[in-house]
A and B are shown apart, each in its own frame.
Chain A
Amino acid sequence: MAIATDAGSVPGAPIADAQRVFVASQWQLMWWRFRKHRLAVASGIVVAGFYLVVLGADFLAYSDPLASEAQRSLMPPQPIRWFHDGRLRPHVYGFKGARDPLTFKRVYQPDPGQKIPVRFFAQGFEYRFLGLIPTSRHLVGVDPGRDASVTLFLLGTDVQGRDLWSRLMYGTRISLTIGLLGVGLSLVLGVVLGGFSGFYGGAIDTVIQRVIEILRSIPTIPLWMGLAAALPRDWSILQVYFAITIIISLLGWTELARVIRGRFLALREEDFVVSARLVGCSQMRTIFVHMVPSFMSHIIAAATLALPAMIISETALSFLGLGLRPPAISWGVLLQQAQNVQTVAISPWLMIPAIPVIVAVMAFNFLGDGLRDAADPYGR
């Protein structure tokens, strides 16, 4: 259906177009079909944007995510004002800090008199761009040094006076790579176990299917909590990071295994698989040369759909204080500060890290849906 409309939708050269469809490769057909799913394409762009942030987190951040200062605790966001006197002069207003005479809390008032110019490609802390090139340029920044009151906090600061924007950039890096690694691990388990199950069938299939059913009927969060709480307190950030990834994927592989088993079952009796077997291909060759390429796209789609669950799991665990622990930064760690309603009511910007979680989960879901529809360009 989609192929026919795709070919016929362009008036003028229907024959050439039809031929284009006949000679197109499988991936070409998938791309054509995927392109028609507008929402999925837009989501794909959003996802790509997220991973650009992952790559360039230190460039997009403008202050050290761990640098804390009690003097600047819970400062509200400073929105960028683009124009001054009708000309493009990006700046933010400075803040006047004072103590509330009644509650003795620090309150901040924006001070329109003090305009702090925002510079692009400004100098900041040193880092290695992409882990290779040493530099100290950042996307935005203010002239450093001159005056302690000259600050830039695009999204405000947290209780310890750390810049939320910069922390969000670094948090994105950790949260999204943990999701990716977790899906990678689940994929290995899913392909091996789902593959065995679907290719061999029989007793192996029954056992693996029952194991999957059992795993799926257990509430996962209590189990994750139990396992995560047992991680030694003195482990380094990196060790905890990998341990959490493993814990999350240990229970997350079942859905992937189910999809892969389904594909194996569907393909096992296909003519081209039977003929591959008949001409004497080894089992390995049958699986990896003939079968896997034909459902590679399904695996990619299923993996994309599995990512949101991974992201939510990590966020939930870290939110509870059982996942990644400070000084590591992830979306969940950032949201920990929003646990207390009273704090959030006074400083609502602490809830900002919830936005990327929701946007990322939605984008991955839509992208996965589009990929799944495109994964089988010959169908329907």
Chain B
Amino acid sequence: MLAYIGRRALLAVFTVWAISVLSFVIIQLPPGDYVSSYIAQMASMGSVVSDEEAQNLRIQYGLGQPIYVQYWKWMKQIAEGNFGFSMEWRRPVTEVIGERLWLTVVVAVAALLLTWVLALPIGIYSAVRQYSLGDYLATFIGFIGLAVPNFLLALVLLYLGFTLFDAHIGGLFSPELQDAPWSLARAWDLCKHLPIPALILGLAGTAQQIRIMRANLLDELRRPYVVTARSKGLSEPRVIVKYPVRMALNPFASTIGYTLPFIVSGSIIVSLVLGLPTVGPLLLRALISQDMFLAGTIVLLLGVMTVIGTLISDILLVWIDPRIRLEDT
């Protein structure tokens, strides 16, 4: 079991490294180096950067040195908690991102939880009552969920909410609590606003999970041990929940690794449509105005958090599935 977790952790470290390289590439891609853009930006606002300051910045970021040195210096600063300076906001990147990162996590986790809460019972129902009306309904909604890109779904819901109920369904907070400090009222307000974004983000994943759960459970229900359990006189719910559902759950859990990146990806663009205060709108703005340290940091942090989430799900999987625990190769 430890060997398994160790392997996953090692892969996670590699993934984080790959993400950091890709983020660095994104920072490097626009023409010109950071300091020249910084000077130009300052000049456009009417302030002048002294030669000395420019020189200091060049040394700090290792500009003019080989690319791997620059990467190394960037990484070293990140290790010290310094993510660079946002040109557009003229504040440190960490300050600009602030609580938006945590709100992104909250939205993603809510979507993931909702996926599970919906997919598990619906999947079980679909398998146990195969070809029933409910099964067809679940299949139909599933196909819609897979076929409609989530940002279009957000757009349609926003439109329906606006025209039918005259309500704005976007956002994560009521206007009066938008900038308020954290309090119980604000947390409750967040909870009230969460379901719609979570549903939009989670629908595609839910659809997929329902199909996986249904297929797995159908396979398991035909196994001889189910017949044995029935013939021993176990009650029907117990027969189903105790063994086949537990067996069918394994592939279900192992797909979180792919669901989470998908949800995080989707949250960026859905946040834009719904106007959620996550890092999504920030990233788009940073990319358009070529505020590269901010953009690179957001890509890096999103990636790292996805990897951590995936690692947690891997460990959960070991906990659920004794076969992996005992495999230990």
Contact = CB atoms under 8 A, between A and B. Distances in A.
Contacts of A322: 284, 287-288
B18 A230 contact: no
B293 interface: no
A221 B265 contact: yes
B29 A222 contact: no
Contact of B283 (A213, A218, A220, A222): A222
B296 to A, nearest CB: 8
A316 B151 contact: yes
Given A210-B11, A341-B159, A354-B155, A223 B149 contact: no
A312 interface: yes
Contact of A320 (B18, B284, B310): B284
Contacts of A354: 152, 155-156
Given A227-B29, A341-B159, A341-B162, A312 B14 contact: no
Interface in A289-326: 308, 312, 315-316, 319-322
A222 B266 contact: no
A100 to B, nearest CB: 19
A204 interface: no
Interface stretch (A6-14, A132-140, A267-275, A356-364): A356-364
B248 interface: no
Interface stretch (A55-63, A104-112, A115-123, A344-352): A344-352
B19 A218 contact: yes
Nearest to B306: A219
A285 interface: no
Interface residues on A, range: 35 or more
B62 to A, nearest CB: 21
Contacts of B168: 341
Interface stretch (B39-47, B236-244, B256-264): B256-264
Contacts of A316: 149, 151, 269
A237 interface: no
Contacts of B261: 216-220
B156 A218 contact: no
A339 interface: yes
Nearest to B22: A223
B30 interface: yes
Contact of A338 (B149, B155, B264, B310): B155
Interface in B249-292: 257-258, 261-262, 264-266, 268-269, 272-273, 283-284, 287-288, 290
A213 B311 CA distance: 13
Interface string B13-41: 01100110011001001110000000000
A351 to B, nearest CB: 7
Interface residues of B, number: 50
A357 to B, nearest CB: 7
A324 B101 CA distance: 29
A192 interface: no
A210 B14 CA distance: 9
A344 to B, nearest CB: 5
A46 interface: no
A214 B149 contact: no
B155 A365 contact: no
A246 to B, nearest CB: 14
Contact of B299 (A222, A338, A361): A222
B147 A365 contact: yes
A225 interface: yes
B146 interface: yes
Contact of B26 (A227, A312, A339): A227
A345 B284 contact: no
Contacts of B119: none
A345 B147 contact: no
A198 B303 CA distance: 29
A362 B287 contact: no
B287 A348 contact: no
Contacts of B18: 214, 218
Contacts of B163: 345, 348
A345 B265 contact: no
Contacts of A229: 287-288, 290, 295
A106 to B, nearest CB: 20
Contacts of A348: 159, 163
B143 interface: yes
A218 B287 contact: no
Contacts of B29: 226-227, 230
Interface of A: 210, 213-214, 216-223, 225-227, 229-230, 232, 308, 312, 315-316, 319-322, 335, 338-339, 341-342, 344-345, 348, 351, 354, 357-358, 361-362, 365
13 contacts: A214-B11, A216-B261, A217-B261, A219-B261, A220-B261, A226-B299, A229-B290, A321-B288, A348-B163, A351-B156, A354-B156, A357-B149, A365-B143
Given A222-B265, A229-B288, A230-B30, 12 more contacts: A218-B19, A218-B261, A219-B261, A219-B303, A222-B283, A222-B299, A226-B23, A319-B269, A320-B272, A341-B168, A354-B152, A354-B155
Closest 6 pairs (CB-CB, A-B): A230-B29, A226-B26, A229-B287, A221-B265, A219-B264, A362-B147
